[in-house]
Chain A
Amino acid sequence: GDKVKQSPSALSLQEGTNSALRCNFSIAATTVQWFLQNPRGSLINLFYLVPGTKENGRLKSTFNSKESYSTLHIRDAQLEDSGTYFCAAEDGNMGYKLTFGTGTSLLVDP
């Protein structure tokens, strides 16, 4: 099965609303990264997390290693937040290696 399960797979939000994306891990995740893939395919680094929480503007992310999940909260969604969000976990048992989730396709409507 999927080592990193990401949900939802697709999401449509109205501008100004809030939402949360989630990743559940079946590997021994030691660190987590969240990326936004823009329409041209580039991966933009959003967060790098050891267990704990980080916040950057309208985005906030938490990594709970004991319960094997991570969340990405989007507050006051804007049109430019549209794109595909990926989480990726470093597997502590495999040395340096990122295992990606299946992505969440987000569309923010005016």
Chain B
Amino acid sequence: GALVYQYPRRTICKSGTSMRMECQAVGFQATSVAWYRQSPQKTFELIALSTVNSAIKYEQNFTQEKFPISHPNLSFSSMTVLNAYLEDRGLYLCGAPDRANTEVFFGKGTRLTVV
């Protein structure tokens, strides 16, 4: 399957500060990248879907002002969590569909702890 790398795997930030996470597609073209969050004891919520050369679509309860995303080319995307607070902690996953169909492959995630 397609390979998606995420960095960092874990991060701790102080309440009110920001952190940036990165997502790299290897061996395939990630025309679309989806960012998800899994909060403690919960399922995965879609934050936004980013498509190269198109506007980024944010889901309800998530905004560009809080989670700005960059998707400059077909292999890289980054997302920043601005002004992080306790409710932002969780596992952030980026996923991209294989070009052959819409099967999505995910990175191993960035686990955010806010202290």
Residues of A within 8 A of B (CB): 31, 33, 35, 40-43, 45, 48, 86, 88, 90, 95-103
Q: How far is the CA of A88 from the CA of B103 in the complex (A)?
A: 11
Residues of A within 8 A of B62 (CB): none
Q: How far is the CA of A43 from the CA of B109 in the complex (A)?
A: 9
Q: Does B23 contact A (CB under 8 A)?
A: no
Partner of A103, one of B1, B43, B93: B43
Residues of B within 8 A of A48 (CB): 101, 103
Partner of A97, one of B34, B38, B111: B34
Partner of A100, one of B1, B43, B49, B97: B43
Known: A88-B104, A103-B43. 19 other contacts (CB 8 A): A31-B102, A31-B103, A40-B108, A41-B108, A42-B108, A42-B109, A43-B106, A43-B109, A45-B105, A86-B43, A88-B44, A95-B49, A96-B34, A96-B102, A97-B34, A97-B49, A98-B34, A99-B46, A102-B43
Considering the complex of A and B, which 10 residue pairs feature the smallest CB-CB distances, nearest first?
A: A48-B103, A100-B44, A42-B108, A43-B106, A100-B43, A102-B43, A41-B91, A41-B109, A103-B43, A90-B102
Residues of B within 8 A of A (CB): 1, 32, 34, 36, 38, 43-44, 46, 49, 91, 93, 95, 97, 101-106, 108-109, 111
Residues of B within 8 A of A88 (CB): 44, 104
| B-side interface mostly | strand
B46-A45 in contact (CB<8A): no
| A-side interface mostly | strand
Partner of A33, one of B34, B49, B104, B108: B104
16 pairs of residues in contact across A and B, judged by CB atoms under 8 Å:
A40-B108, A41-B91, A42-B106, A42-B108, A43-B106, A45-B1, A45-B103, A45-B105, A48-B101, A86-B44, A88-B44, A95-B49, A97-B49, A98-B34, A98-B95, A100-B43
A41-B109, A101-B43 in contact; A96/B32 too (CB < 8 A)? yes
Q: How far is the CA of A103 from the CA of B39 in the complex (A)?
A: 13
A41-B91, A48-B101 in contact; A97/B106 too (CB < 8 A)? no
